[in-house]
Chain A
Amino acid sequence: RKEVEQDPGPFNVPEGATVAFNCTYSNSASQSFFWYRQDCRKEPKLLMSVYSSGNEDGRFTAQLNRASQYISLLIRDSKLSDSATYLCAVRTNTGGFKTIFGAGTRLFVKA
């Protein structure tokens, strides 16, 4: 089992839709969680950090469920410009701090 798993998608949604992605992690000692956005052939850019139960920034909401070991990203009122790959990252202390990235979920928002 991978340490951090994401549904690769693609998720195809119309403009204005609400879409949610999940990211599961296997190490219960994980303490910090991040969502990054990556456009095609570009670097990942930080979207949101999640340290407690959740975080909200405009149309984007991240939730952390420690009991079930997953984080979610909810995008409301999707825009064409939201089309990208969304990577989750989990930071764990396993004899040293380590950030493990998921392979990403692809989102296409259609007009």
Chain B
Amino acid sequence: DGGITQSPKYLFRKEGQNVTLSCEQNLNHDAMYWYRQDPGQGLRLIYYSQIVNDFQKGDIAEGYSVSREKKESFPLTVTSAQKNPTAFYLCASSVGHTIQETQYFGPGTRLLVL
């Protein structure tokens, strides 16, 4: 059963703590993305990766880091430098990275600060 999985579903972060959100896909997609969604706002791009071992900053990369060591996996670390991390984090993937690419989303991780 192909798809995108994200874990955990809910994550709690303490002050000064780094946390890592998992994103895995078995769709054989080359491109993967991380978005953040806040109430009343559109999805904002944090990082994206077009291919293994390569990734690019999106519009709001500060306070976040990623890695792309395997095609299937694109984990996102929310560092202590991100001062307002409470949000709904969505991972997406697409076959490639062209003008007509359709992005498909995982179920999301809701991050809350204690």
Q: Which residues of A contact B (CB under 8 A)?
A: 2, 4, 8, 31-32, 34, 41-46, 49, 51, 87, 89, 91, 93, 96-104
Contact = CB atoms under 8 A, between A and B. Distances in A.
9 contacts: A4-B42, A32-B99, A42-B107, A43-B105, A43-B106, A43-B107, A44-B90, A87-B42, A101-B43
Contacts, number: 51
Given A97-B97, A103-B40, A34 B108 contact: no
Query: Which of B42, B100, B103, B108 gathers most chain A CB within 10 Å?
Result: B42
Interface residues of B, number: 22
Query: Which of A8, A34, A103 gathers most chain B CB within 10 Å?
Result: A103
B43 to A, nearest CB: 4
Given A8-B40, A98-B45, A103-B42, A45 B99 contact: no
Nearest to A43: B105
